[in-house]
Amino acid sequence: MTRARDFADVISGQHNLPPGSLGNAVPAGSITTAKLANDAVNASKIADGVVRAQHIADGHVTTAKLADDAITAAKIADGAVSKGFSNVSLYSADSASNTIPATADKLLFVIAGAGGGGASSFMASGGNGGDSTVVYNSVTYTANGGTGSDPVDGSNNSSDVALGHSGGSGTGGLAILGGGSVGGGGGQTIYGSYSATPLDGRNGGMVIVQVAVVSGQTTYAVTVGSGGTAATATYGNDTATGAAGSNGYVLVYDNG
């Protein structure tokens, strides 16, 4: 082949250059993204391990780019995915030594104190509601019972002022005033031209707390407060009776 023919082939783009002959002729960085044809760089041209995590911009690997079943349990680090609460136990009575599922690593306690009882007109006070508690890992979480209502007393205005709803206590817990069980209503007296209606019993408190399951601490204990008693009294020929407070309760969620 003549030199003129070789030159013509080069100009026409039909001359086959030996592999790697231009490697040293291309300065570093001179082949930019704009100079690459679409789809010119495919998987076969990328060496294994060349593209690492630091080369991938945040948010660029989307769900649509993941093949089905590409992410297996072996590719997820321990503790990277937190399990949600899937089980709940309702306690309406005392219960000791409740077993935590072996696969659970956290618990959520929702504790409601009992409501206070309603008073009887101006004659008798309602009873206080009982506290509800959960004991786990030697820590007690308490939702206080509501206070029973006082009778009406025209000579003592303080007796006619509503007492505050109850709260609760416990390390790390959220205490909600009046978030527990409802207090009982007061009993009204109507006799002749006289009437007396006391205020309702106060609501129990509520405590909400999440705790981590501690190794070796496999049970928890629950006590549930009883609603405050209702007062009954008679004035003249009218008997007034308040309503008992609602009993407390405890909900325990786990992610076992």
Mean per-residue pLDDT, 155-166: 61
How far apart CA 204 and CA 133 sit, in angstroms, is 12
Is the pLDDT score of 158 beyond 50? Answer: no
Is the pLDDT score of 42 beyond 50? Answer: yes
How far apart CA 190 and CA 130 sit, in angstroms, is 31
Mean per-residue pLDDT, 36-51: 76
Output the CA torsion 177→181→182→183 (10° steps).
-90
Output the CA torsion 41→46→50→54 (10° steps).
30
Whose tokens are 């010119």? That residue is 40
- Comparing 150 with 250, the larger pLDDT belongs to 250
- Comparing 247 with 13, the larger pLDDT belongs to 247
How far apart CA 82 and CA 141 sit, in angstroms, is 24
pTM: 0.68
pLDDT of the residue at 243 = 92
For the record, the structure tokens of 64 come out as 């649509």
How far apart CA 214 and CA 101 sit, in angstroms, is 12
The number of beta carbons lying within 10 Å of the beta carbon of residue 50 is: 8
Question: How much of the chain exceeds pLDDT 70, in percent?
Answer: 83
Question: How much of the chain exceeds pLDDT 90, in percent?
Answer: 42
The C-alpha R_g of the chain, in whole angstroms, comes to: 38
Plot region of 39 (φ>0 → left; ψ -120 to 50 → alpha; else → beta): left
How far apart CA 140 and CA 133 sit, in angstroms, is 7
Query: What are the pLDDT digits (tens) for 84-132?
Result: 888 999 999 999 999 999 999 999 999 999 999 988 877 888 999 999 9
The number of beta carbons lying within 10 Å of the beta carbon of residue 151 is: 25
Q: Is 253 exposed, middle or buried (0-12, 13-18, 19+ CB in 10 A)?
A: middle
Mean per-residue pLDDT, 49-54: 74
